[in-house]
Amino acid sequence: MQLMLNRSLADLVVSKEARQAMKWDVNEAEANFDEFLEAVITQGPQILTRDGEEIAVCVSYAEWQRIEENSKGK
């Protein structure tokens, strides 16, 4: 199961340059939640940071469903 989940999550890996464009400080994401949510939906996974540390990734529900389906099929 872990291997399947890791393989599905591998689809989310992007270049360092692309990751920079998708990082949001938690306070920034909270203050601009509509913009943050729109970026999740239209641009893909967004990384949340706190004190410069990457702490979470937010994905759209459609992306989450795709990950779930991929993990069930393997």
Q: Note the pLDDT tens digit of each residue in 12-71.
A: 665 555 555 699 999 999 999 999 999 999 999 999 999 999 999 999 999 999 999 998
Q: Which of 74, 69, 67, 72 is nearest to 12 (CA)?
A: 67
- The model carries a pTM of 0.69
| Structure token pair of residue 46 | 């967004």
| Structure token pair of residue 24 | 């949001």
CA atoms within 13 A on the CB side of 30: 5
Which contacts (CB < 8 Å, 24+ apart) does range 55-61 have? 55/26, 57/12, 59/12
